Structure 1
Amino acid sequence: MKYQGGLFGIGAVLHGHFSLNRRSHVMLCQNSALQQFETRLMEWLEALKLSGEVQGFLSVNWLLQAMSVVLATHTNLGRLIPDSELSLCQGTDKWIEDYLDDNAKLLDVCNVLRDGIADVENYQTLVQLALHNVDNRTESCSEGKYYRARNTLADCKEAIKKKDTEYKQGVPKSKLENCSSLLRTMGEKLINPRGPEAIKGNGLLNAIYGAKLTTIFLCNLVVTALACKPRRPLASLHLANHYKWSGSLVSLQQKVKEEIDKSKNMGSIALLRELHDTDVSVRRLHEVLDWHLTERNFPMRRSDVAELKIEVEVLRKRSSDLGLGLAPLEIHVNELFRMLIATRLVFIDVISRSKSHDPSSLRYDSLL
């Protein structure tokens, strides 16, 4: 799913077509530009749900699609702001303040996601080291290489247990778990624009609400997927139900929650599918090597060599699938970070212009 296109032209359509005198939400929803915004977001969420049902939720490719939806909403939001005729009039100051505050928190979320991806990459490096010691030429492998491979696989097993864990004053803390709690709190505090507020800024506040909800939910899925054995269940966002995309987001939440519950019931350490599959193969290959080394089963019989080759190739394939998805996922996170900065700068420009016209307007220096 690409995030180019789609909603990009809405800013131009919105400009000049909303009347600030439209006071009811019903009349606002009749505007074709806002309908297009809501329809596209609904379509993206529906496509994301369908893709998850086909290839599995919380796979690397699916998370890449989820991040593409986030990127699309923020690209569009950045284009809407200059055309929104938004100013620091009474009532909008709080919304801008809240947006800038949440924007800063999402920047922190991006940093935690990058650290989470780096942890998986470090785990991936250990797996590659183990594979280097037992490759397809298993007949020529020395017993020493088998020992080194088994020990490295043991390090892999230990690394995935300790992944993302920091020790503060002797107490283990998980950055990803803390990040998930932050996103949960952001979702709980999110307020839906109502009545006259909904039409301020030519409907921009409605777009901000949709973009925030989408970002909080989908980023929390990436956080959850990168964590190992998350202690808390996935938070369910409570959202206004009058938007076209509301039902699609609620349905997607339910589908993902069912998948997560299923994985936890199966005893999965990792919820990210490729990481789970790699972990399963690591444990299996470690078990095979440990048996041969413990029983001093050397030289190996041909049947044993063939079995070992199969286990090595399975791990190689699963590890490759995991590794191929990490770099694009990190690129998406970096792009979101850049977009959040760009949108923040646009809002700061709105604040600056408003203050230049009205020196008595509220102070935002602490947010800038």
Structure 2
Amino acid sequence: MSRPQEPHQPFFHFGNPFRRLSPKGPYLSRKLLSLLNNFEKTLAERLEKLNPNDKEEILSLSWMKSAMESLCETHNDINALITDLDLPVSDWDEKWIDVYLDISVNLLDICNAFSSELSRLNQGNLLLQCLLHNLESTCAKPFIRARSSLDSWSRHISSKNSRVENCCTILDKLVESIDLPKVKNSAKGKVLMSAMYGVKVETIFVCSVFAAAFSGSPQKLLDLEVADKYAWAQAFTGLRTSINGEIRNMLVGERVTALKELEAVDTSVKKLHPMIQDGDEPVEAEAFKNSVSDLAMRGEKLSQGLDLLTKGVDSFFQIVLTGRDALLSNLRLTGTDSDTKVGGNVLERVLSR
């Protein structure tokens, strides 16, 4: 996708609220207008917060943790909005239900892929701990084992995770279905679809950044274009331009990883490698000691960052799963009503997949 032109500065910081009063489509009441404006204002603020002042923060594990927390908050917001809309499942258009369920199942697959990659990186930490343990000794054999552990760590970290590679296919599916279903006669439905569009855009963007970070490939990035009629469009465009541009600059040439903390560990490992290449005790003892200490410190920072990000991905998985289960539960209840056709038909179709 081509990169869009920078949008014009809107008169209102978060967009013109009176735009919702357009005669096209169903009329939005003051209450519905307020719900949608509050959702979009919060989303805009959240996207602005994700755009760091210091580019060095981009693709650090702490920034990725913040991005995942942002996604959790946005998905919690859409669940809260659905409750506030008081839109019974029996009134949902089948297309809306399909959109929600398709998004959720794809996101669960993506979460599983990210979790598998974080688990793989944590396994690399075990090799790193083994390396550090052997480096504490001063006899020859442990140094030989340390060299072996170092080589194993390098091979492990540079290997590819096929599940992360497959994320591109899932993200492409989400992009293909990003356009909103047509809403003709439901004001609540219009609010729901408009809010879900914002959720999809932020979700696809963050997940594509994660896929690029884990794979080390800028080809995983997606340059989504958003019309400036959305109150959060300017914040998103600024975030996308900043993050994607910096990542593409970072991933020029061959690199083992784009993750800042992992790259720091890899730098320390490469510094140590020639010192123990022959399996003998290093001649420059002080420099060697400092290098080992530096590797231990960076390894600990990596380990802590991976643990926190893993918890963030797990939380996102649970939020998506809870929302999906709640909808399916409501569909089951609706399907028992003989006067209601939509819930029963959709549930039957979903469960037959």
Normalization by structure 1: what TM-score? 0.80
Matched residue, 2:151:
154
Matched residue, 1:210:
198
Matched residue, 1:277:
264
Number of residue-to-residue matches in the alignment: 328
Matched residue, 2:68:
67
Is 1:324 matched up with 2:304? yes
Runs of 4 or more above 6 Å deviation: 25-30
| Contact 2:41 2:231 (8 Å CA) reproduced | yes
Work out the CA distance in 1 between the residues paired with 2:205 and 2:125: 27
Q: Which one-letter code corresponds to 1:126 in the other structure?
A: L
CA pair 363-26 structure 1, distance change in 2 beyond 3 A: closer
Normalization by structure 2: what TM-score? 0.83
Matched residue, 2:140:
143
Matched residue, 2:116:
115
| Contact 2:183 2:190 (8 Å CA) reproduced | no
Matched residue, 2:229:
242
Matched residue, 2:340:
359
Is 1:34 matched up with 2:36? yes
> Which has the higher mean CA deviation after the structures are superposed, 311-320 or 350-359?
350-359
| Contact 2:208 2:220 (8 Å CA) reproduced | no
| Contact 2:131 2:150 (8 Å CA) reproduced | yes
CA shift for structure 1 position 96: 1.1
CA pair 25-210 structure 1, distance change in 2 beyond 3 A: farther
Q: Which one-letter code corresponds to 1:322 in the other structure?
A: L
Work out the CA distance in 1 between the residues paired with 2:193 and 2:185: 8
Work out the CA distance in 2 between the residues paired with 1:312 and 1:25: 67
| Contact 1:123 1:159 (8 Å CA) reproduced | yes
The 5-angstrom pairing of residues 1-368 of structure 1 reads 23=25, 31-50=33-52, 53=54, 55-87=56-88, 92-135=93-136, 141-164=138-161, 174-192=162-180, 196=184, 199-201=187-189, 203-227=191-215, 229-230=216-217, 232-265=219-252, 267-290=254-277, 292-293=278-279, 300-301=282-283, 304-355=284-335, 356=337, 358-361=339-342, 362-368=345-351
Work out the CA distance in 1 between the residues paired with 2:27 and 2:149: 61
CA pair 26-144 structure 1, distance change in 2 beyond 3 A: same
CA pair 269-197 structure 1, distance change in 2 beyond 3 A: farther
Deviations 1:300-327 (A, max 9, x none): 54xx001111211221121111100111
- Give ranges in structure 2 of 5+ residues lacking alignment: 1-19
CA pair 217-119 structure 1, distance change in 2 beyond 3 A: same
Q: Please give the secondary structure, in 1, of the residue aligned with 2:119.
A: helix
Q: Please give the secondary structure, in 1, of the residue aligned with 2:346.
A: coil
* Identity in percent: 28
Work out the CA distance in 2 between the residues paired with 1:30 and 1:93: 21
CA shift for structure 1 position 357: 6.3
Matched residue, 2:3:
none
CA shift for structure 1 position 339: 0.9
Work out the CA distance in 2 between the residues paired with 1:242 and 1:198: 20
Q: Which one-letter code corresponds to 2:341 in the other structure?
A: S
Q: Please give the secondary structure, in 1, of the residue aligned with 2:95.
A: helix
Deviations 1:128-178 (A, max 9, x none): 11011113xxxx5111111111111011111112242xxxxxxxxx21011
Work out the CA distance in 1 between the residues paired with 2:166 and 2:57: 26
CA pair 111-134 structure 1, distance change in 2 beyond 3 A: same
CA shift for structure 1 position 116: 0.6
Q: Please give the secondary structure, in 2, of the residue aligned with 1:31.
A: helix
Work out the CA distance in 1 between the residues paired with 2:167 and 2:31: 34
CA pair 45-231 structure 1, distance change in 2 beyond 3 A: closer
Q: Please give the secondary structure, in 2, of the residue aligned with 1:265.
A: coil
CA pair 192-98 structure 1, distance change in 2 beyond 3 A: closer
CA shift for structure 1 position 285: 0.9
CA shift for structure 1 position 332: 1.3
Q: Which one-letter code corresponds to 1:265 in the other structure?
A: V
CA shift for structure 1 position 37: 1.2
Work out the CA distance in 2 between the residues paired with 1:237 and 1:147: 50
Q: Please give the secondary structure, in 1, of the residue aligned with 2:51.
A: helix
Work out the CA distance in 1 between the residues paired with 2:346 and 2:33: 34
Work out the CA distance in 2 between the residues paired with 1:79 and 1:131: 48
Work out the CA distance in 2 between the residues paired with 1:223 and 1:40: 26
- Give ranges in structure 1 of 5+ residues lacking alignment: 1-17, 165-173
